[in-house]
Amino acid sequence: MAAFLFGLLFFAMQPPPIPSAPTAYSSSTLSPLPPPSDNGTTSMAHPNGTVQQLPDIVIIGVRKGGTRALIEMLSLHSAVAAAENEVHFFDWEIHFQKGLPWYLSQMPYALPGQRTVEKTPAYFTSSKVPRRLHQVNPDVKLLLILRDPTERVLSDYTQVYYNRLLKHKRHQPIEEVLVKDGEVNLGYKALNRSLYYVHMQNWLRYFPLDSIHVVDGDALIRDPFPEVKRVERFLRLPPQINASNFYFNRTKGFYCLRDHGRERCLHDSKGRAHPRVAPDILHKLYRFFHEPNRKFFELVGRTFDWN
């Protein structure tokens, strides 16, 4: 571990080599990692024995895939220290230009032996993030939680709809954003986020498939325990999370968490009902995603129960 930290510190203090990348993501379009300041870049100790350290686990997405539920469930494990907020270090230039010391300052204080995890759902669909993250830690473990692409699009729309409603802003009916001139609206950003194979190809240019664990977000909703155990095994964490940590809340309609006698559920903004969509429009979406889904299944070597 000491050798790794020294190597990372040495790497961060000099201009890193730029790996070759496809034309679509050439080095001319990506900023180099900002140089660190002199106050250290791998960890910051606290007098009480805890330490802020760069994460070795990152939940990279996808937006409206269940990232908040996943990090809350992972936090049940005593060997995990989770960042409270979405950091947006690798995808927001205003944060990235502050350098690794700023990124480190956003991490939680971890006890000796704990592993640090952060989650930023926008990482998965940002073309510049894989390269930047690989420069910082090529051995990082990546968690990607995905849902049925059509369901994810509807959930994406629902979030924007309620956000605009709270701000008293006009919103477009869902039919208008999903369909244009009788066909699926390719200009709708939420559709692009659900083209999983496109984004996965970029991540696999920098990280091997065995560094990325895909969590079935639909299965996590139906029965979270088996999915969380798979994550626990992937991260090689001591088996600790058990079925008693989960209970179904009939009022909310989804699973909540129980930890040392304390119960907690996700925010009320989670699990909102989706707007009703005409069957013919849903069929258009199912047909649209059929081929992209097949390509994604080939990339990751497994299939999912998506329409």
**Helix 196-203, helix 279-300: angle, nearest 10:** 20
Backbone angles phi, psi at 94, to 5 degrees: -60, -30
Domain contains 8: no
| Placement of tokens 């990607």 in the chain | 144
139-153, 187-201, 226-240, 272-286: segment of lowest average pLDDT: 272-286
Domain contains 70: yes
Domain contains 198: yes
d(CA 133, CA 123): 10
At 279-306, the pLDDT tens digits run: 999 999 999 999 999 999 999 999 999 9
Average pLDDT of span 22-51: 57
pLDDT at 16 (0 to 100): 37
pLDDT at 61 (0 to 100): 97
Query: In the chain, how many domains are there?
Result: 1
81-85, 90-94, 154-158, 159-163: segment of lowest average pLDDT: 159-163
196-210, 218-232, 265-279: segment of lowest average pLDDT: 265-279
Q: What is the CATH number of the domain that holds 287?
A: 3.40.50.300
Domain contains 18: no
Handedness of CA 146, 148, 153, 158 (dihedral sign): negative
Domain contains 40: no
The helix (run of H) or strand (run of E) holding residue 163 is: helix 149-166
Whether 135 contacts 33, CB under 8 Å: yes
pLDDT at 268 (0 to 100): 64
Tell me the residue ranges of DSSP E strands in 147-284. Answer: 179-180, 183-184, 212-216, 246-249, 254-259, 262-264
16-25, 32-41, 63-72, 99-108: segment of lowest average pLDDT: 16-25
Q: Which band of pLDDT confidence, cut at 50, 70 and 90, is reported for residue 30?
A: very low
Q: Cβ–Cβ contacts within 10 Å for residue 53, how many?
A: 20
Whether 65 contacts 263, CB under 8 Å: no
Whether 70 contacts 106, CB under 8 Å: no
Domain contains 119: yes
Domain contains 43: no
At 60-117, the pLDDT tens digits run: 999 999 999 999 999 999 999 999 999 999 999 999 999 999 999 999 999 999 999 9
90 by Cβ neighbours in 10 Å (0-12 / 13-18 / 19+) ranks as buried
Handedness of CA 76, 270, 147, 300 (dihedral sign): negative
Angle at 195 between CA 193 and CA 198, to 5 degrees: 105
Residue 284 structural domain: 51-300
Q: Which band of pLDDT confidence, cut at 50, 70 and 90, is reported for residue 273?
A: confident
Domain contains 45: no
Here the tokens at position 199 are 């984004």
Q: Which band of pLDDT confidence, cut at 50, 70 and 90, is reported for residue 6?
A: very low
Nearest to 121 by CA among 49, 74, 66: 66
Q: Is pLDDT above 90 for 195? A: yes
pLDDT at 251 (0 to 100): 87
Q: What is the mean pLDDT of the chain?
A: 86
